[in-house]
Amino acid sequence: MPELPEVETVKNELFPLIVGRRITGMTLVWEGIVKELPLDEFCSRTVGQEITAITRHGKYLFFHLSNKDFLLIHLKMTGSLIISYESPEPVKFIRAIIHLDNATSIYFRDPRKFGIMRLVKDTAAIREKLGPEPLEESFTPQLLAKRLTNRTAPIKALLLDQKFIAGVGNMYADEVLYAAKINPWRPGGSLTRPEIKRLHHEIRRILWAAIENKGASVDTYFRPDGSEGSAHYEFKVAHGLGGETCSVCGGPIERVVVRNRGTYYCPGCQPLR
């Protein structure tokens, strides 16, 4: 959290507000947010540059700069990018401010200080470490089946592995597996062809629906205008927001731990075969 739908929402809503704008200043409230480069070099290579585009891959945001650098931002667990900060919350949650030439600023809000900012010359090295984008046309049931072949790890763990598939996190993995009626403990390689087809369909359906609802504000995620997303109102099991009983069979929703990650599922609809 934020996961693919939240990061995609941030990208979509920032695009018309910042593309074509020039960075006039960089305030690093918490210097630890910048990784790898010395702070003076980071600032000198960003200040004065125009933001020519903004793209996303997995949970990463890339600000394309006019000097051909890419400003990489990862919101991690609690980050948000807010274009106009008006909140009674403590200023200590703001870790960096990107000042633009139209008298607006992008505030990097991150209560737990997990978010990062980096400058890279090429995004290929980062993209190559990530699995396929689940919303691209190249992500087919056949590709998913190939990637699941001989995999012994639980399917829940595989969905969370960013090298297996990019962008899916804990919330949406639970929702996907519930909708596909697949037990989170099932070894990935044990899924049948019909199950893989169903899983593929639900991954895309649930992610697209969450984007349409502007992401899920279950904890610390905010949209760039400071408002909340509403995708969590559609949750059936994730984060325990779907209720204590299954809306399909009436059985109890249970919480278990799969590879150190809290997992919600319905034993009645998702039996371990």
Residues involved in catalysis = 2-3, 59, 261
- Determine the residue type at 249: C
Local structure of 73: helix, strand or coil: strand
**125 CB-near residues (< 8 Å, 6+ apart):** none
**89 CB-near residues (< 8 Å, 6+ apart):** none
Please give the structure tokens belonging to residue 171. Answer: 């919330």
> What spatial distance separates the first Cα and last Cα of the chain, rounded to whole Å?
30
Please give the structure tokens belonging to residue 12. Answer: 């979509």
| CA nearest neighbour of 262 among 137, 174, 176, 161 | 174
What distances in angstroms separate CA 38 from CA 29, 76, 209, one per listed residue?
15, 22, 41
CA 243/CA 130 separation, integer angstroms: 33
